[in-house]
């Protein structure tokens, strides 16, 4: 004879229900946080493990003369802005006029980091758009970029006179990014340098 009283379905244990609720509310909180940050000027800034740490050492050829190699230690002594770009990168073209105007102020050394690019294409790009860089390093194979955590172009790093990375921005530099982020970060480096000089 068949069982006329089937077993009632099992209920989830209270602990499982509690964990599920926590997970759900955590997701909702994360989404709300993302929406709240979406109108902030630093929304494209990605945290970097390099901030506050020494910039990775390198020996890279100069784009305009591949026989000349530059060591990272040669850049010590004054702050510099390292701008990652490629002729294949449309966003790099968008930021180029703003970066050029900033480089013309000569407030800080602007160094180009040509990433995964053909030398002839990169030189042609600079000839067409102008060269705002004091120096252009070439990382054709992209090996050194791994040490810097470079994931895309453009990316920009501000390194102080001691070789410590003080700021990083992923994406195109805009005037707003210059005014609200880069220049204040540079001012901190300049203030620190003046403080040491007065001692």
Smallest Cα–Cα separation from 117: which of 156, 145, 147?
145
Residues 88-127 have pLDDT tens digits of: 999 999 999 999 999 999 999 999 999 999 999 999 999 9
Any idea of the CA torsion for 10, 15, 21, 23, to the nearest 10 degrees? Answer: -120
**8 Å CB contact between 52 and 164:** yes
Annotate 115-128 with b (16+ C-beta within 10 A) or e (fewer).
bbbeeeebbebbee
Q: At residue 157, does pLDDT exceed 60?
A: yes
Please tell me the pTM assigned to this model: 0.75
Residue with tokens 């909180």: 29
Residues 134-145 have pLDDT tens digits of: 999 999 999 999
> How confident is the model at residue 48, as a pLDDT?
67
Structural element, H or E, at residue 143:
helix 143-148
């Amino acid at each position: 004879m068949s069982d006329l009283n089937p077993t009632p379905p099992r209920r989830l244990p209270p602990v499982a229900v509690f964990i599920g609720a926590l997970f759900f509310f955590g997701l909702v909180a994360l989404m709300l946080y993302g929406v709240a940050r979406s109108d902030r000027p630093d929304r494209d800034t990605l945290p970097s493990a390099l901030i506050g740490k020494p910039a990775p050492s390198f020996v890279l050829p100069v784009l305009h003369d591949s026989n000349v190699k530059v060591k990272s230690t040669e850049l010590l002594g004054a702050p510099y802005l390292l701008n990652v770009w490629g002729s294949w990168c449309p966003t790099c073209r968008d930021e180029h006029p703003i970066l050029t105007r900033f480089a013309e102020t000569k407030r800080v050394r602007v160094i180009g980091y040509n990433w995964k690019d053909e030398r002839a294409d990169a030189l042609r790009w600079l000839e067409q758009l102008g060269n705002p860089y004091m120096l252009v390093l070439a990382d054709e194979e992209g090996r050194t970029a791994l040490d810097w955590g470079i994931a895309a172009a453009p990316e920009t790093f501000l390194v102080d006179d001691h070789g410590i990375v003080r700021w990083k921005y992923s994406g195109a530099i805009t005037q707003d990014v210059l005014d609200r982020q880069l220049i204040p970060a540079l001012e901190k480096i300049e203030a620190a340098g003046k403080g040491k000089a007065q001692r």
